[in-house]
Structure 1
Amino acid sequence: MGLDKKELIVQTATNLFRKKGYLGVGISEILTECNLSKGGFYHHFPNGKEELLITCLNSMNEVITQDIKEIFGRYQTTQAAIQAMLEELIIQFDRDETIIGYTFNSIVSEIGSVSERVREACEDSFTKIQEIYSAKLMADGYSKEEANSFALMMTATIEGGIMLCLTKKTSEPLQTIASLLPNTLKVVE
């Protein structure tokens, strides 16, 4: 069974936003790619392109957080889980020359030119990722304050690494992060 029209629009727009950025994609391009009329588009997204972007970000967030939860659930420690996650990201980048699902960066890089609602959707996504990291760190014995600080650092480091991989067209930044980041996490006894 195929995608329903709304899912098709979200999937198509997400791919276009990743490739061209939010400002680089017009409604007409989305309509053409989806073989859809303006009326059909506005039926699903009455508030237009911004509403579509927020839906795309929320959809990506669900996929990303589920992936991270699954990886972190398979490993005893944060150190092992972060190492495994980084290795999976490196393999995906080397294979696909992108990191599908994890690339908020190309969409979010234009955040200054979009609305507060979009900024809040992005913030929510990063907050959920940090909460997964923080929970695992607390399970490892870190205090809540330490766990939150390390979770922020991990999120910023990995997101920055992804952006550098996309910009440099090499997985080397994530490889470097994979060799260093897990070692910054102490084992709490």
Structure 2
Amino acid sequence: MPRRTDTRQRMVRTAAELFRAQGYHATGLNQVLSEGGAPKGSLYFHFPGGKEQLAVEAVGLAGSDLRDALTAVLAAEPDPAKALSQALELLGRQLLASDFRSGCPIATVALDAAADSEPIRVACEEVYTSWQAVIAGHVGDEDLATVVLAAIEGALLLARTRRSLDPLHAVGARLGALLGRPTT
């Protein structure tokens, strides 16, 4: 049996996974509680702001998890083109592991709820800004980091929709050319 002190963290992590796969509106609180193994009364105890507060925290957690993974991948490879190619490979492995159900951990929530909720929009913006900063630190240019992030986000969406890693491979090859280096 899970420890009581883990309930809040399990709910946030469960919500992050569900929001990533099926979006904000399609994820019910009963589903989060059930899949997170949490008692019904714990939701509003831990999240008095309800589903919106839970989503903000889930976006933050999922965003920091990917930011940390991205930071590690980029730090391990000094060549920006190769590093970004490795980051795309990591994202591709995650897509395959989820049978193309889980693309970007933020995009589904951003598209689904950010227009209706300022706290969720801000949480998504903060995550994207943190990812862009990591990329900019590696490629040395803020505008180029915006292009890279947008290309990766688009590639993830296309890959998920097409159930194919081909868009990730194509973007990886073009990013290598954009950075002035082949990604072999």
Identify whether the pair has TM-score above 0.5, normalized to the shorter chain.
yes
**Residue from 84, 88, 93 that aligns with 2:95:** 93
The 8 Å contact of residues 21 and 103 in structure 2, kept in 1 or not, is answered as no
Which residue number corresponds to residue 9 of structure 2? 7
The 8 Å contact of residues 25 and 113 in structure 2, kept in 1 or not, is answered as no
* Corresponding letter in the other structure for 1:133: I
- How much has 1:9 moved relative to structure 2? 0.8
Rounded to whole Å, the distance in 1 between the matches of 2:20 and 2:68 is 20
Structure-to-structure mapping, 1:28-177, within 5 angstroms: 28-98=30-100, 102-138=104-140, 147-177=141-171
RMSD: 2.1
Rounded to whole Å, the distance in 2 between the matches of 1:19 and 1:91 is 15
Runs of 4+ in 1 over 4 A off after TM superposition: none
The 8 Å contact of residues 6 and 44 in structure 1, kept in 2 or not, is answered as yes
Number of equivalences: 179
* Corresponding letter in the other structure for 1:73: A
The 8 Å contact of residues 73 and 87 in structure 2, kept in 1 or not, is answered as yes
Rounded to whole Å, the distance in 2 between the matches of 1:42 and 1:122 is 23
Rounded to whole Å, the distance in 1 between the matches of 2:68 and 2:37 is 31
Q: Any idea what the Cα deviations from partners look like across 1:40-88, whole Å, max 9, x if unmatched?
A: 1111001100000000000011111100110111111211211211122
Structure 1 residue runs without a partner (length 5+)? 139-146
Rounded to whole Å, the distance in 2 between the matches of 1:26 and 1:92 is 24
Rounded to whole Å, the distance in 2 between the matches of 1:90 and 1:112 is 25
Q: Secondary structure at the match of 1:177?
A: helix
Identity of aligned residues (%): 27
Task: Specify whether residues 94 and 30 from structure 1 end up closer, same or farther in structure 2 by C-alpha distance, changes over 3 A only.
Answer: closer
Task: Specify whether residues 155 and 63 from structure 1 end up closer, same or farther in structure 2 by C-alpha distance, changes over 3 A only.
Answer: same
Rounded to whole Å, the distance in 1 between the matches of 2:171 and 2:152 is 8
Compute the TM-score of the two structures, normalised by the length of structure 2.
Answer: 0.87
Structure 2 residue runs without a partner (length 5+)? none
* Corresponding letter in the other structure for 1:135: G
Compute the TM-score of the two structures, normalised by the length of structure 1.
Answer: 0.85
